């Protein structure tokens, strides 16, 4: 037969209705936290995807502009050569192109090409 001590030990081990309600409440809270985490991670993933698309578009546009500048420099007879890492490009003008040497547009194009190449890792 069961004694009072045996019943007390069984009651101590077996979950009561209050224990079950408390565990159900904790599980509901965990589900809510998980749903909030998943929503936040989906937003982060979407933002990351958008940034990746934008980076790809900018990179493509930058490559296109660099090709155009090289083509313009070739047509103008201007040689764009890069010196040591981080240095501005050396511009070699064709004979008789003294006007280009002091042209603001030529200096600006050379600086722009230099800044693109150092930012995109060409100089590395």
Encode pLDDT of 68-112 as tens digits. Answer: 988 888 888 887 766 555 555 555 555 555 544 445 556 666 666
Half-sphere exposure of 12 (CA within 13 A, CB side): 6
Residue with tokens 């042209």: 103
Contact 78, 106 (CB under 8 A): yes
Provide CB contacts within 8 A for 58, sequence distance 6+: none
Number of structural domains (the chain) is 1
Q: Give this prediction's pTM.
A: 0.44
Q: Which H, E and C letters describe 63-77, residue by residue?
A: HHHHHHHHHHHHHHC
Residue 79's domain spans which residues?
4-120
Residue 54's pLDDT band (cuts 50, 70, 90):
very high
Alpha carbon distance, N-terminus to C-terminus of the chain = 86
């Amino acid at each position: 037969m069961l004694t009072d001590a045996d019943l007390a030990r069984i009651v101590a081990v077996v979950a009561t209705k209050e224990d079950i309600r408390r565990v159900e409440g904790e599980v509901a809270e965990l589900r809510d936290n998980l749903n909030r985490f998943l929503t936040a991670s989906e937003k982060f993933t979407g933002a990351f995807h958008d940034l990746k698309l934008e980076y790809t578009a900018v990179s493509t546009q930058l490559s296109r502009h660099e090709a155009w500048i090289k083509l313009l420099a070739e047509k103008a007879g201007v040689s764009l050569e890069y010196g040591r890492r981080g240095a501005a490009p050396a511009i070699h003008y064709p004979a008789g192109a003294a006007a280009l040497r002091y042209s603001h547009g030529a200096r600006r194009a050379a600086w722009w090409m230099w800044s693109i190449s150092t930012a995109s890792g060409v100089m590395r």
